[in-house]
A and B are shown apart, each in its own frame.
Chain A
Amino acid sequence: MLKAIISKLRSSPNGLKWIACLGINLAIGSYYSAALVAPASSIKSAWLPGKTTHGHYQIELDCDACHSASNSKEGPTSSDVMQDACIRCHGDQLKDVDTHPAKKFNDPTNAELLATLDAQNCLSCHAEHVPHQTLAMGLTMPADYCWHCHQDVGDSRPSHQGMAFDSCATAGCHNYHDNSALYEKFLDDHFGQPDQLDVAVTPSRNTLASLSGDQLPRKGWSKPAIGLDDADFPETTESNPQLLRDWAETAHAAAGVNCSGCHVTQSEAAQNDDSASWSDSVAMETCGQCHDKQVDTFLDGKHGMRLAAGLTPMTPDQARLPMNHDAAHRELDCNACHNDHRFDTQFAATDACLQCHNDDHSLAHVQSPHGQLWRDEVLHKGEQGTGVSCATCHMPRLEGDDGIWVNHDQNANLRPNEKMAREVCLNCHGLEYSLSALADEELIRNGFAGEPSERNKSVEMAHQWFLERAKKRRPRP
Chain B
Amino acid sequence: MTISGCSSSEASSAAAGGITPKQFADGVHAVMMADRTVYATHVVTNLKKQEAPVTADEYWQDTENAIPLPAQMFRMGAELVDENPEAGFTYALRSKWPLNEQHQAKTDFEKQALDFISDNPGENFYGEEDLGGKKYFVAVYPDRAVAEACWSCHNDHPNRGEDYPDFAKDDVMGGVLVRVPM
CB pair A103 B82 closer than 8 Å: yes
- How near does chain B come to A377, taking the closest CB pair, in angstroms? 30
CB pair B158 A473 closer than 8 Å: yes
Number of interface residues of B (CB under 8 A): 24
- How near does chain A come to B15, taking the closest CB pair, in angstroms? 23
CB pair A103 B131 closer than 8 Å: no
Q: How far is A111 from B155 in the complex, measured between Cα atoms in Å?
A: 33
- B residues 52-76 near A (Cβ < 8 Å) are 59, 62
Given contacts A102-B83, A472-B158, contact A109 B107 (CB under 8 A): yes
Q: Does A343 contact B (CB under 8 A)?
A: no
Residue of A nearest to B59 (CB): A185
Residue of B nearest to A153 (CB): B101
Residue of B nearest to A469 (CB): B158
Q: Does B49 contact A (CB under 8 A)?
A: no
- How near does chain A come to B81, taking the closest CB pair, in angstroms? 9
Q: How far is A188 from B131 in the complex, measured between Cα atoms in Å?
A: 39
Chain A facing B: main interface SS: helix
| Cβ contacts under 8 Å, A152 to chain B | 101
Interface residues on A, range: 20 to 34
- B residues 86-111 near A (Cβ < 8 Å) are 90, 92, 101, 106-107, 110
CB pair A470 B158 closer than 8 Å: yes
Q: Does A320 contact B (CB under 8 A)?
A: no
CB pair A103 B79 closer than 8 Å: yes
CB pair A107 B158 closer than 8 Å: no
- B residues 133-165 near A (Cβ < 8 Å) are 133-134, 136, 155-160
CB pair B132 A112 closer than 8 Å: yes
Q: Which of A186, A472, A476 contacts B160 (CB 8 A)?
A: A472
| Cβ contacts under 8 Å, A114 to chain B | 132
- How near does chain B come to A359, taking the closest CB pair, in angstroms? 35
Q: Does B22 contact A (CB under 8 A)?
A: no
CB pair B83 A156 closer than 8 Å: no
CB pair A111 B82 closer than 8 Å: no
Q: Does A108 contact B (CB under 8 A)?
A: yes
Q: Does A106 contact B (CB under 8 A)?
A: yes
Q: How far is A156 from B101 in the complex, measured between Cα atoms in Å?
A: 9
| Cβ contacts under 8 Å, B106 to chain A | 109
Given contacts A108-B136, A109-B107, contact A189 B62 (CB under 8 A): yes
- How near does chain B come to A69, taking the closest CB pair, in angstroms? 20
- How near does chain B come to A114, taking the closest CB pair, in angstroms? 7
CB pair A104 B136 closer than 8 Å: no
Q: How far is A474 from B156 in the complex, measured between Cα atoms in Å?
A: 6
| Cβ contacts under 8 Å, B110 to chain A | 109
Q: Does A115 contact B (CB under 8 A)?
A: yes
For A355-387 the 0/1 string (1 means CB < 8 A from B) is: 000000000000000000000000000000000
CB pair A474 B155 closer than 8 Å: yes
For A80-123 the 0/1 string (1 means CB < 8 A from B) is: 00000000000000000000011110111101101100000000
Highest count of chain B CB atoms <10 Å: which of A103, A109, A471: A109
CB pair A106 B159 closer than 8 Å: no
| Cβ contacts under 8 Å, A472 to chain B | 158-160
Q: How far is A111 from B135 in the complex, measured between Cα atoms in Å?
A: 12
Q: How far is A76 from B31 in the complex, measured between Cα atoms in Å?
A: 37
Q: Which of A102, A108, A115, A185 contacts B62 (CB 8 A)?
A: A185
CB pair A111 B158 closer than 8 Å: no
- How near does chain A come to B40, taking the closest CB pair, in angstroms? 20
| Cβ contacts under 8 Å, B79 to chain A | 103-104
Given contacts A108-B136, A112-B132, contact A103 B83 (CB under 8 A): yes
CB pair A111 B131 closer than 8 Å: yes
Q: How far is A103 from B90 in the complex, measured between Cα atoms in Å?
A: 11
- A residues 106-161 near B (Cβ < 8 Å) are 106-109, 111-112, 114-115, 152, 156
What are 9 pairs between A and B in contact, CB < 8 Å? Answer: A104-B82, A107-B90, A108-B131, A108-B179, A109-B92, A109-B110, A115-B132, A470-B158, A472-B159
List of 3 A-B pairs having minimum Cβ-Cβ separation, nearest first? A111-B132, A469-B158, A103-B83
User: Interface on B for A, CB 8 Å cutoff?
Assistant: 59, 62, 79, 82-83, 90, 92, 101, 106-107, 110, 131-134, 136, 155-160, 179, 181
Besides A101-B83, A111-B132, 9 more A-B contacts (Cβ < 8 Å) are: A102-B83, A103-B79, A104-B82, A107-B92, A108-B181, A111-B133, A114-B132, A152-B101, A186-B62
